[in-house]
A and B are shown apart, each in its own frame.
Chain A
């Protein structure tokens, strides 16, 4: 004999459970989609350049540093010549290095070269009991903005305090191409052309 009452109870329970399950599934999907939501990116595609240096500038910089420069009849690598900028032969080396860049790598000023030295400092004022910090910049070469000259070569060019948003003076400007650290001197190149068309 079929127990109709037992089956009826089971059917009623099952229907209720199925409806509840469908409802809960719907709630699950809605809540899950909100929890698992991934927000879009907030940066622009150009921000990727933060992670790369300029491939063209880097190529010109590397080839320039590995090139040979003649100073007072003696041939040496550009990287060696730059390392002695703060020594006795500094000015002669700097003029030779800048002339080499002008002649072979600048493409009539399309490519820029910057060579500088930075030194951080902290200055204390005993009267006001305060201190300030900044960066002392010695810009040896800033081609094509300024040519190497003997008047202020080797002399600190500018002092900035820590509050300045940019440590480079307006007339020099930081080149945004590629840079290379040689001991405590930085060599930078911003290049738009590799092979200069004469």
Chain B
């Protein structure tokens, strides 16, 4: 019995380890409790950013054929020799007018303004307008979304064929 009592000191480190484990667990539980558990609040910025970038994508891909259609109308009376140069002037002018309405998170209008697009005519008189490396961007809180794509519009001297 005496030896049992006298050997108690050796158990102290073991018991202290156990208590230390309890303290660590308690700290972790406090950390868990302090976390935000509402997934709606956590994920809504991501959904909003993703939806905005999709909307901008749709916007750019809709605005391009509209501008082309209007420019075709502007140069309807131009001869075939001048068609391309007159089209470019009208297209850039109309794109600048749309861009002036309000700022948008895309470089599409900047590329048009700096003449960084390709206009190619094939043998059948069909033009292909290609704007490369277009991006649209959305920033929500600390999240940023960027989408890169090409814009391609095919048209002839009378109407838009495909976009």
Q: Which of A61-69, A84-92, A127-135, A166-174 contacts B (4 or more CB under 8 A)?
A: A61-69
Given contacts A9-B4, A32-B29, A32-B32, whether A24 and B22 have CB atoms under 8 Å apart is yes
Q: In angstroms, how far is the closest chain B Cβ from the Cβ of A179?
A: 12
* Interface residue from B10, B43, B47 paired with A51 (Cβ < 8 Å): B47
Q: Do residues B69 and A195 form an inter-chain contact, with CB atoms below 8 A? A: yes
Chain A hits for B56, CB < 8 A: 55
Interface residues of A (CB under 8 A from B): 5-6, 9-10, 13-14, 17, 20-21, 24, 28, 31-32, 35-43, 48-49, 51-56, 58-60, 62-63, 65-67, 77, 79, 180, 194-195
Contacts of B52 in A (CB 8 A): 51-52
Main secondary structure of the interface of A (DSSP, over half): helix
Report, nearest first, the 6 A-B pairs whose CB atoms are least far apart: A55-B58, A59-B62, A66-B97, A55-B59, A52-B55, A51-B48
Among B15, B40, B50, B63, point to the contact of A62 (Cβ < 8 A). Answer: B63
- With an 8 Å Cβ cutoff, the count of chain B residues facing the other chain is 51
Chain A residue nearest to B136 (CB atoms) is: A55
Q: Are A14 and B21 in contact (CB under 8 A)?
A: no
* Residues of B in contact with A (beta carbons under 8 Å apart): 3-4, 7, 10-11, 14-15, 17-18, 21-22, 25, 28-29, 32-33, 35, 37-40, 43-44, 47-48, 50-52, 54-59, 61-63, 65-67, 69-70, 94, 97-98, 100-102, 159-160, 163
Query: Complex Cα distance A53/B102, Å?
Result: 15
Tell me the bound Cα distance from A41 to B32 in angstroms. 19
Complex alpha-carbon distance, A37 and B39, angstroms:
10
Contact B11 A63 (CB under 8 A): no
Known contacts: A32-B29, A55-B62. The answer to whether A6 contacts B51 by CB under 8 A is no
Chain B residues contacting A180 (CB-CB under 8 Å) are 101-102
A17 near B101 (CB under 8 angstroms)?
A: no
Can you name the residue of chain A whose Cβ is closest to the Cβ of B17? A17
Contact of B28 among A10, A32, A55, A60 (CB under 8 A): A32
Compute how far the CA of A56 lies from the CA of B57 in the bound complex, rounded to whole angstroms: 10
How far, in angstroms, from A43 to B159 measured CA to CA in the complex? 43
Contacts of A65 in B (CB 8 A): 101
